[in-house]
Amino acid sequence: MPAKKILVAFDGSKHSRKALEWALNSYEAGTASIEVVTVVEPIANYSIPEAFPLEVTAFHQDQQAMREEKLKELRQEWAACGKEFTTHVLNGNIVETLLDYSMESKADLLVTGTRGAGGFKGLLLGSVAHELVTHAKMPVVVVK
């Protein structure tokens, strides 16, 4: 059964751009809706001292705004080619947030790129891609 709703994990890397390109070129307009999602990780994951709570909040807000702007540019770039998609910036642990959102949004297919830089566990796939393939409840396409 062809996918009607595709969720593309996007982190701004060339690998995630390839994943988006694959999704957009694999499905003709009108046959599937495509959502591009990026996740801003919790501040604790950035190892910033708790002694600077205002700076931490500002840093998180900057990350959110920067990603929203990047996704806006990406939509404009692809709109010029006649390709459209929606975007979302979410907050949380990358893997958990992508898995939860993929279920909430009723995605039929999850598409991700891979860097392959996750040590032994991620020898063949990047650690995020590995976790998505392992735990997703829907098919996952990993674009290299």
From first to last of the 144 residues of the chain, give the pLDDT tens digit: 688 999 999 999 999 999 999 999 988 666 899 999 999 987 664 555 555 555 667 777 788 899 999 999 999 999 998 899 999 999 999 999 999 999 999 999 999 998 755 444 444 456 899 999 999 999 999 998
Euclidean distance between CA atoms 70 and 83, whole angstroms: 17
Q: What is the DSSP string of 51-103?
A: T-HHHHHHHHHHHHHHHHHHHHHHHHHHHTTT---EEEEEES-HHHHHHHHHH
Count the helix, strand and coil residues of the chain and give each as a percent rounded to the nearest 5: 45, 20, 35
Q: Which run of H or of E encompasses 23?
A: helix 14-26
Q: Is the CB of residue 136 less than 8 Å from the CB of residue 36?
A: no
Q: Is 123 helix (H, G, I), strand (E, B) or coil?
A: coil
Euclidean distance between CA atoms 85 and 49, whole angstroms: 38
Euclidean distance between CA atoms 142 and 43, whole angstroms: 27
Q: Is the CB of residue 72 less than 8 Å from the CB of residue 79?
A: no
Q: How much is the pTM?
A: 0.84
